[in-house]
Amino acid sequence: MRYSGLFLAAMGLILSNFLSPICAQTLSPNTVKYKLTYNKGTEVYTVWVHPDYNTPNANNSNTNEFSATAQVSLKVPRQFVIQNITDINGFWEKSPRKLGDPVVEPALASETYDSTARYYAIGKAPIESNLGKFTVGDSVALFTFKGNSCFGPVSILTPQDPFVQAAFNASSLNVSGSFYSRSGQPAGGNVIPLEQFIAKKGPDAFCDDNAQIGVAKRVVSLVNNNNGSYDVAFEIRATNTGSVILTNVQLFDTLSKTFPSPATFSLVGGVTTTPAVPVNASFTGTGSSTSLLAGSSTLAAGASIVATFTVRVVAASGSFQNTAWAEGTFNDRKVRDKSTDGNNADPDGNGDPGDNEVPTPITINQNADVALFVNINNKLPQVNDVVTIKVVVKNQGQTIATGVLVKDALPAGLDLTGSSGDGSYTAGTWTIGTIAVGDSAELFLTIKVVSMGVQYYTAEVSAMNEPDVDSNPNNGVETEDDFSRDCLSAPITLCSSQAVELSVPAGFTNTQWFKNGTPIPNANADKLTVTTAGSYTFTTTNTTCPANGCCPIIVEEVDCCPVQICVPVVITRTKRGGSKQP
């Protein structure tokens, strides 16, 4: 079933297409999971790849991930028939064989597996596909499909499912999921591909309902009592992110794991909720008293319960992390979710709060922590195009940040035409002032591109009244989180008879130039003379790209011939006497 044989043939290698799962290849350190979601409104299932790594990386210097081949296997109800497979990224098999029926496949009758279910192994064609940038925790959609009706849950087939071994024993079929990409293979090529798929991500997809809960937790305030204790005010927000009513809604928080000895803690007052629901008056965050609610509440689709409570912590200093979780019931089936930091249970907006699990940090030192982010909405404009630069400063600390200023540098190739957002802005200085805990300030700059080539916009927090836990304002250190940079690249036009010289900044070493993603032989100098159109990039060993990625240098060939000398001319030879000679 797997396309691995075709993939390896394309790589100039030989490996059996029927590879036993027991004899599977070495696992790559860059692993992925597969995820399945269902949209009740459109009745469409979507298959996603969920990376555990970022691009670029040691195996893949490209900003994007490129997948050579893959296989997604599904476990479905017996009556379920996959229909309308539609590609999103890559070219996927459109008529996969339905597997698992011991009547159709008698050899399966002696195997141990869930014979009440059926199975599909859907392969990707062995054509390298650009899946875009991979970021840890951000899922990338691969393809969609529909079913013939609603018969129950559909799930990603895990490598440990008994049917994987049963299919191999009965028919020598490898139905296990797989994923092969540039990041999964050691640099250098001509090597045996390494498997990257390890598990499924998130719950099964239910067509008969969309029962789901999400939970977020944040620190509302942290007060120094000036006696060795601190009052930490928490907010937990549980949201019904599904489409059905949940019953027996409950919140849990084990504070004893958050504040271990020698720190001590106690509740200041009790738990309050909005809207008001029955709470557990015995909640202490320790032992068996970790439930905040009475467990008798219902939660309508789209509704939230917000619980607040204050914990008095006695600790000299230190950093702590807290995770809460929520659960609810639908038709005797429980759904659960661990909390993510903030007040949004699904901050990436992909409809699955289960892939957002970030502990809430608590820092006992009363320092602020601001982080700055820059993003240009169009990184490949034309000259005279208008783009928008978005600058965000977020207070990630435990105390209010005041007196916040940001300085920025707009290169000569970009003209400022307008600004909007929080605070006030004059060219070179953004005056923000105060940012509350967990809040952000945003600035939008409208920019006209007036020059060809790569242009970098840089911004840094230049002043703040409070000390920052991991950065110092206005020190120009690019690795600190109060400094950010982004770029855009407008095409450089090149006449057919001309050349343009590209160069890397001074001080960079071991340069390698690339054209259209392919290394240019012997192009290792700090300058490169370009005579043909293409997308040019470079790598060095002593620098990294800005956090939002490098911009390629785009060179385009144009007709530079002046009008007055581009008129067709016919030239003939003549004798001196005036007669023409051909």
Q: What is the pLDDT of residue 281?
A: 94
Residue with the larger pLDDT of the pair 256 and 546: 256
CA–CA separation, 496 vs 532, rounded Å?
A: 8
Q: What is the pLDDT of residue 498?
A: 84
Residue with the larger pLDDT of the pair 501 and 392: 392
- pLDDT, tens digit (0-9, with 9 covering 90-100), for 184-242: 988 766 677 899 999 999 888 888 777 899 999 999 998 877 677 889 999 999 999 98
Handedness of CA 97, 100, 101, 105 (dihedral sign): positive
CATH number for the domain whose boundaries are 370-490:
2.60.40.10
Q: Span 259-282, mean pLDDT?
A: 94
Q: Span 164-174, mean pLDDT?
A: 95
- pLDDT, tens digit (0-9, with 9 covering 90-100), for 432-458: 999 988 899 999 999 999 999 889 899
| 125 has pLDDT over 80 | yes
Mean pLDDT of the residues in the chain: 87
Q: What is the pLDDT of residue 366?
A: 60
Q: Report the range out of 12-16, 30-34, 437-441 with the highest average pLDDT.
A: 30-34
- pLDDT, tens digit (0-9, with 9 covering 90-100), for 371-385: 999 999 999 999 999
Please name which of 183, 182, 166, 185 lies closest in space to residue 174, comparing C-alpha atoms.
166
Domain with CATH 2.60.40.740 in the chain: 213-364
Domain with CATH 2.60.40.10 in the chain: 370-490, 493-564
CATH number for the domain whose boundaries are 493-564:
2.60.40.10
**In terms of DSSP bridges, do strands 553-558 and 492-495 run parallel, antiparallel, or are they unpaired?**
parallel
- pLDDT, tens digit (0-9, with 9 covering 90-100), for 38-74: 988 899 999 999 999 999 999 999 999 999 999 999 9
Q: Span 486-502, mean pLDDT?
A: 87
CA–CA separation, 319 vs 368, rounded Å?
A: 13
CATH ID of 213-364, from 2.60.120.10, 2.60.40.740, 3.40.449.10, 1.10.1130.10: 2.60.40.740
Q: Strands, E, within 436-526: which ranges?
A: 440-449, 453-463, 483-490, 492-495, 500-503, 512-515, 518-519
Going by pLDDT thresholds of 50, 70 and 90, the confidence category of residue 5 is very low
Predicted model pTM: 0.42
